Copies of this chain bind each other. A is one copy, B any other.
């Protein structure tokens, strides 16, 4: 399945969050799961238990530094397409139907 993880630390006193989010992205990068970082969160591909264990580590790391965390996990799961590779196939399928390359 695919899951978009968006982590927002609260109460840090700064409008910039990239220091704390670098910790989160490092955990995702080290997880071994395939991922894509975007401007509004990171999409991860894997099984439910793998992704949720990773999400919990991201929550724990954030609450180590911040008093509060908001986190959105947006899931897209298809039993008719159980294999890996949807993280790239979705955008390729869009491009094929639009008939031109899209900005990624």
A72 and B69 form a contact (CB under 8 A): no
What is the oligomeric copy number? Answer: 4
For A29, the closest partner residue in chain B by CB is B102
Cα separation A69 to B56 with both chains bound (whole Å): 22
Cα separation A38 to B36 with both chains bound (whole Å): 8
Cα separation A50 to B83 with both chains bound (whole Å): 28
A10 at the interface (CB under 8 A from B): yes
| Contact count band on A | 35 or more
B21 and A94 form a contact (CB under 8 A): yes
**Could you give 17 example pairs across A and B, Cβ below 8 Å?**
A4-B39, A6-B74, A8-B8, A10-B10, A10-B17, A12-B13, A15-B66, A15-B68, A18-B94, A25-B94, A38-B91, A52-B52, A59-B75, A67-B80, A68-B80, A70-B76, A73-B75
| A contacts, CB < 8 Å to B | 2, 4, 6, 8, 10-19, 21-22, 25-26, 29, 34-41, 43, 48, 52, 56, 59, 63, 66-80, 86-88, 90-91, 93-94, 97-98, 100, 102-104
